Amino acid sequence: MAEDSFRLIKASSLKAARRKAERLGKKEEYETENCLGQKMTWEFVECLDCYDINGAGKLRDGLEIYSLLLVPRELKMVQGMFTLEDGRRWVRDC
């Protein structure tokens, strides 16, 4: 399973926003068990993009604005679509 999540970050520059996003992503990593008793690990992989959004005065850091959960069958269908700069996939095989 993989999650693609969009978050709002308030920062003075795109570079500062990326650093802040990476810290937040690492901070939110955790392990748990699913309903079958299997270990599940939520792991931050990478901040793919940052965009400047004007007028964000009342928004807070880490506010989720988009999320997508994929089951293994769906994940395999989209794995080839997302790669890191060095050619590695940002999603892992199930």
pLDDT tens digit sequence for 4-45: 788 888 888 899 999 999 999 999 999 998 888 889 898 998
Specify which residues 83 forms β-bridges with.
89
> What is the structure's pLDDT at 57?
60
Looking at the predicted structure, is the pLDDT value of residue 52 above 90? no
User: DSSP string of 32-76?
Assistant: EE-TTS-EEEE-----------TT-TT--TTEEEEEEEE-HHHHH
Q: In the chain, what are the domain boundaries?
A: 2-81
Chain-centroid distance of CA 64 in Å reads 10
Specify which residues 42 forms β-bridges with.
30
Q: What is the mean pLDDT of the chain?
A: 79
